[in-house]
């Protein structure tokens, strides 16, 4: 059994309940009679897999118009919690944000469905690309003639996960003060979400970016695979990951929430303000069934769907 899945076993029984609910016959959408807009707010790293899912879903339900918006997960959630924008599916790159910021006021449940890992992504002309390795990456990124980018930790989980990766590397024995020095360098290249950095990388304005492995695979970019001890990929290392944390902006001005290190798990929900819950339920049923192969094709770790511990109820579709 994949070690990254082993620690999810305690919640899989609840996941079986959800799967059985998804397979109940007799609902109107089983006949393909769905229509209307389906509004999806999703993390930037889900842009390509969700486009693949949407294209396949519309073959089955051609009368559904899918309107997807990509943004950092925190920014996506705030569209609902702060701006009161109707949304049919919210998909976050960090499941815990749904638990902390949406349940119970804006949603009742949170479905875990995919994993990922941090990597350092570059291009064929990046300075010192032939030299960078899992032992010297921090030294190369700190060289004066090298530029690197990261996303905004107050908008995007990839941004605070980049900081968590730095802190884990530092606590694992690298240079004391490494995180502080790295965060002071190249601040002009911080962007709202991780995929915003791709154009800068591909144009040569940046040599390296902290990015999810799946996005590098989707865009066919070379990347440095980091050790499991710092790449936030392995649930068995959660005890070590949780020794570091980052404070990020909360839902209200002046508020902050503390994000502890934890293996990457994506989560999704149907917000309470959904205008088309029937289509949303059908889309999630498709995603958690045949759509899981598309998640894996897009370079992400597909996990057996299961509700988060913060869920206050289970969906009944």
CATH number of the domain enclosing 276 = 3.40.190.10
- The pTM for the full model equals 0.87
For 161-198, write each residue's pLDDT tens digit: 999 999 999 998 777 899 999 999 999 999 998 888 99
pLDDT on residue 303 = 92
pLDDT on residue 175 = 79
Q: Is the dihedral of CA 80, 17, 93, 255 positive or negative?
A: positive
Which segments of the chain have a pLDDT < 50? 1-31
pLDDT on residue 270 = 98
Place of tokens 């508020």: 255
Residue 251 forms part of a structural domain:
no
Give me 308's structure tokens.
């988060």
Looking at the fold, whether 184 and 132 belong to one and the same domain comes out as yes
Looking at the fold, whether 67 and 175 belong to one and the same domain comes out as no
Looking at the fold, whether 7 and 92 belong to one and the same domain comes out as yes
Q: Are 166 and 186 in contact (CB under 8 A)?
A: no
Looking at the fold, whether 209 and 272 belong to one and the same domain comes out as no
Residue 237 forms part of a structural domain:
yes
Looking at the fold, whether 105 and 7 belong to one and the same domain comes out as yes
Cis before 295 (ω within 30): no
Residue 313 forms part of a structural domain:
no
How many domains, in total, are found in the chain?
Answer: 2
pLDDT on residue 38 = 98
| 171/196 Cα distance (integer angstroms) | 29
| 230/168 Cα distance (integer angstroms) | 6
For 202-257, write each residue's pLDDT tens digit: 999 999 999 999 999 999 999 999 999 999 999 999 999 999 999 998 777 788 99
Looking at the fold, whether 100 and 136 belong to one and the same domain comes out as no
Identify the domain containing residue 12 by its residue range. 3-115+265-307
Looking at the fold, whether 66 and 161 belong to one and the same domain comes out as no
Residue 209 forms part of a structural domain:
yes
Instruction: Estimate to the nearest angstrom the gap between the alpha carbon of 40 and the chain centroid.
Output: 14
Helix %, strand %, coil % for the chain, to 5?
A: 40, 20, 40
């Amino acid at each position: 059994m994949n070690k990254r899945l082993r620690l999810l076993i305690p919640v899989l029984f609840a996941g079986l309940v959800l799967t059985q609910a998804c397979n109940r016959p007799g609902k109107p959408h089983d006949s393909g009679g769905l229509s209307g807009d389906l509004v999806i707010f999703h993390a930037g790293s889900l842009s390509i897999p969700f486009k693949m899912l949407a294209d396949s879903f519309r073959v089955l339900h051609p009368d559904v118009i899918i309107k997807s918006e990509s943004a950092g997960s925190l920014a996506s959630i705030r569209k609902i919690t702060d701006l009161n924008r109707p949304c049919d599916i919210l998909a976050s790159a960090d499941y815990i944000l749904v638990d902390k910021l949406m349940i119970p006021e804006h949603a009742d449940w949170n479905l875990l469905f995919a994993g990922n890992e941090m990597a350092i992504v570059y291009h064929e002309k990046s300075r010192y690309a032939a030299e960078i390795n899992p032992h010297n990456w921090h030294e190369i990124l700190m060289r004066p003639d090298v530029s690197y980018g990261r996303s905004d930790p107050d908008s995007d989980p990839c941004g605070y996960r980049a900081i968590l990766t730095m802190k884990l590397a530092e606590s694992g024995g690298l240079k004391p003060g490494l995180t502080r020095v790295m965060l002071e360098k190249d601040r002009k290249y911080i962007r709202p979400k991780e995929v915003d950095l791709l154009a800068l990388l591909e144009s040569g304005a940046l040599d390296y970016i902290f990015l999810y492995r799946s996005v590098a695979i989707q865009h066919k970019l070379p990347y440095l695979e980091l050790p499991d001890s710092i790449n936030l990929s392995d649930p068995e290392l959660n005890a070590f990951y949780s020794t570091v944390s980052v404070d990020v902006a909360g839902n209200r001005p002046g508020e902050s929430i503390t994000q502890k290190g934890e293996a990457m798990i994506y989560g999704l929900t149907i917000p309470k303000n959904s205008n088309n819950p029937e289509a949303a339920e059908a889309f999630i049923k498709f995603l958690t069934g045949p759509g899981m192969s598309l998640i894996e094709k897009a370079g992400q770790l597909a996990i057996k769907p299961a509700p988060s511990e913060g869920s206050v109820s289970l969906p009944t579709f």
